[in-house]
A and B are shown apart, each in its own frame.
Chain A
Amino acid sequence: MAAGEPDRPDVEAMRALLLQTADTSATVNHMVQYTAARLDASFAALSDATRRGVLAQLACADASITDLADKFRMTLTGMKKHVGVLERAGLVSTQKVGRVRTCRLGPRRLEAEVMWMERYRQLWDARFERLDQVIEELKRKERVDERRKKQ
């Protein structure tokens, strides 16, 4: 299962990138593009409602493939396929103990940080855009007041 192993160096590189970058909008774009490439596999994995449901389920508690198949009213084979896609994207990891394969959320937590940072950036971007408008109004008012004083 070497293909399913998360590649740690990449994750580390991304964390480093997150910590250092983002000085100008150009580097933010660069970060976002880099992230996007990295997110691609996850995104494909997440394009399916059942797989999203599985993640939501695993966020609450670990579960066996049989549990998941029951929960989502699917065949065991169907659920195995979904879990396989999630596993390859690093979103889920599985472990076989005896005859039961247990699934839990995988190592790709870092993406939560990227998304959170992006959301945080969007929040401030939106705030500053409105702040600019408020400031322009204040400046206009101040100019009018000054003109009045001079008269």
Chain B
Amino acid sequence: MNAGRSSEANNVKHRMSVQRTSGRELVVTRTINAAPQIVFEAWINAELFQRWWVPKSFALELLSCELDVRVGGAYRLVFRHPGDPEPMAFHGRYLEVRPPSRLVWTNEETGSAGQVTTVTFEERNGRTQLVVHDLYSSTEALDEAISSGSISWNDDTFDQLDELLASATPSK
């Protein structure tokens, strides 16, 4: 009996775009309502970073987060998934650190496709245009990341599909 208005509340959102701009590149763009100096801080300060990087809805528990934000410095995030007995770590190194406009890091955990992540922070009328690029070594590497990440036909996948369809079905 909860018909109507539920989705309207969500419409007042910042524009976000997600694109596969080429065979080996994913680009996410979003505007943040603050100057780059402030936004950049939320990406390099571990205490702030861990508050938003791991969404609650993804059922991952962040056990630790260390960011040594300087060129050549390492980062390491350790997570636990309720379904997995072993915690998993995401780690890599910073290739570029240019406050407050650019951050580049590698993704070196085993099983990762070794993509390089570039984040740019561009000032636009007092706000920040944030662009996150994930560049894979090849089209095959990105295709592989996609198929290995989602073709596990488990219940989660179907729940996900359920939600996707529910949210996409136009109300009649």
Contacts and interface: CB of A to CB of B under 8 A. Distances in A.
B168 A32 contact: yes
B14 interface: yes
Interface stretch (A62-70, A73-81, A121-129): A121-129
B14 A134 contact: no
Sort chain B's interface into a size bin.
35 or more
Most buried by B among A28, A118, A121: A118
A39 interface: yes
A21 B18 CA distance: 9
B161 A33 contact: no
A79 B38 CA distance: 60
Given A36-B165, A116-B149, A134-B48, 5 more contacts: A19-B19, A112-B150, A113-B147, A115-B157, A126-B58
25 contacts: A22-B17, A23-B19, A25-B11, A25-B13, A25-B16, A35-B164, A36-B168, A46-B158, A46-B161, A52-B158, A59-B153, A109-B151, A115-B150, A123-B55, A124-B30, A125-B16, A128-B30, A129-B55, A130-B52, A130-B55, A133-B52, A134-B51, A135-B39, A136-B33, A138-B34
